[in-house]
């Protein structure tokens, strides 16, 4: 079983929120089998502490309303819920993955900023890199492009944490080399 995690964070298009200052505002996760079958799901909004008001750019990009964030718990509380979810199906060989390294780095930053222990407690795999290597496409591609290349229909809303996690789970057979792309780049 593989835990897929996707995050959304505070953002701006004017440079006012540098990457190291972004705060998690949504966590989506799912447990999936190696063949991409989802067996459990998790979604939670997170209230940022440093910049609690979302930028217009962030609201427009993510489709997350300010009211959802205002009512959310802080990361320190949501991390406990994520930890319980991560323990639910974990085995000694389980790991967690995300499309790229951003999500791993963001969780590390948030844990350090709020003095919270790592809520996942498993090794991380960069599914984006695994996909590129397994399919020998020569370069890493975005999740939407990965779905397009694999002939997998994108479901839900892109840039929503749970929807993106579910779409990444569907790409696991290609990332793990169990299936081949119908055509190369």
Interatomic CA distance for residues 134 and 155, integer angstroms: 23
| pTM (2 d.p.) | 0.94
The two beta strands, 2-9 and 24-32, are antiparallel
Residues 6+ apart with CB under 8 A from 56: none
Residues 6+ apart with CB under 8 A from 160: 8, 26, 28, 62, 63, 64
* Domains, the chain: 2-125 (3.30.420.10)
Query: Which string of b and e fits 79-91 if b means at least 16 CB within 10 Å?
Result: beebbebbeeebe
| pLDDT single digits (tens) 68-91 | 999 999 999 999 999 999 999 988
| pLDDT single digits (tens) 167-184 | 999 999 999 998 888 765
pLDDT band for 152, please (50, 70, 90 cuts). Answer: very high
Task: List the one residue out of 185, 86, 79, 174 whose CA is nearest residue 138.
Answer: 185
Q: CA dihedral in degrees (129, 130, 133, 137; nearest 10)? A: -70
Give the pLDDT confidence score for residue 94 in this predicted structure.
Answer: 94
């Amino acid at each position: 079983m593989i835990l897929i995690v996707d995050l959304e964070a505070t953002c701006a298009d004017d440079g006012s929120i540098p990457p190291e200052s972004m705060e998690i505002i949504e966590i989506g996760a799912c447990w999936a089998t190696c063949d991409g079958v989802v067996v459990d799901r998790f979604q939670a909004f997170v209230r940022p502490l440093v910049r609690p008001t979302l930028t217009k750019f962030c609201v427009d990009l993510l489709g997350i309303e300010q009211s959802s964030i205002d009512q959310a718990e802080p990361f320190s509380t949501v991390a406990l819920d994520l930890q319980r979810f991560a323990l639910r199906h974990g085995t000694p060989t389980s790991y967690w993955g995300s499309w790229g390294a951003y999500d791993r780095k963001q969780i590390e930053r948030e844990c350090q900023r709020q003095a919270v222990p790592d809520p996942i407690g498993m090794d991380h795999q960069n599914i984006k890199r695994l996909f590129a290597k397994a399919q020998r496409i020569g370069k890493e591609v975005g999740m939407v492009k990965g779905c397009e290349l694999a002939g997998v229909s994108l479901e839900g809303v892109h840039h929503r944490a749970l929807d993106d996690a579910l779409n990444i789970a569907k790409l696991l057979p290609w990332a793990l080399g169990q299936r081949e792309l119908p055509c190369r780049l």
